[in-house]
Amino acid sequence: MGLLSGQPWWLQQTLGVTAVALWLALLIVSAMQLRRLSHEQGSASHKREWSRKLLHIGTGAVVPLAWLLGIDRLIAIPAAAAITVVAAVNHRTRLLPAIEDVGRHSYGTVAYGASITVLLALFWPARADAVCAGVLVMALGDGLAGVIGSWIQSPSWSLFGHRKSIAGTAVMATTAWLVLILLAAFSQGAGAVTAPGLISLLAIALIATLLEQLAWLGLDNLTVPIVSGWLWASWQ
């Protein structure tokens, strides 16, 4: 599978990496602009975190894009590891504050990069669908839960200093299940291995939602993708 599969290997990889790099650059520029506007307008603290959520959600598109463009394992894994190192350096230096504008002590960005690196090492490219499952559940499920949960007033609770709500939790579970259903349909249509059934997909979504509740220091960014991807690959 790969949109550029008819091209020479070096050209396919060059075009694929360029496309991913451009997408990441667009995300970073957009997040920086959103952060600037939020601070200029004196937005509430949860709105100031939207630049980070934009990156969180948008980064999820990198893995499906790499799958479609046929980026090789020898390039994907070192690239993900390098980005994780950059995220760790930025966590300490705040050179790009839009990435870490979270208002609390969290290793979420670093953990997110580490989880993608681990999933790539475990499954790429033979089970790229499993990598996509883990990353997209976290990117869209957790990302939208944070945004929509802050919009909708609903009963809430606190775990390890993190506010969780019925609305956000419901968005996480529903989005995760829908993402997995769509990915299963796409994977089967693209000729990938058989995806888990609807009940298994629901179970994965609920387990991911439970893990997302345990967000101490942002480590749900590590546990949710890895466990979701592993369960996807295991529950055939």
Output the pLDDT for position 156: 86
- Using the predicted structure, report yes or no on whether residue 146 has a pLDDT greater than 70: yes
Average pLDDT, the chain: 87
Average of pLDDT values for 76-103?
Answer: 80
78: cis peptide before it, omega within 30°?
no
Whole-angstrom Cα distance, residue 137 to residue 36? 28
Output the pLDDT for position 115: 97
- Using the predicted structure, report yes or no on whether residue 46 has a pLDDT greater than 60: no
Output the pLDDT for position 134: 97
Highest mean pLDDT among 38-42, 56-60, 73-77: 73-77
Output the pLDDT for position 43: 53
Output the pLDDT for position 193: 67
Q: What is the band of 121 on the pLDDT scale with cuts at 50, 70, 90?
A: very high
Which of these, 21, 99, 110, 108, lies nearest to 66 by C-alpha position?
21
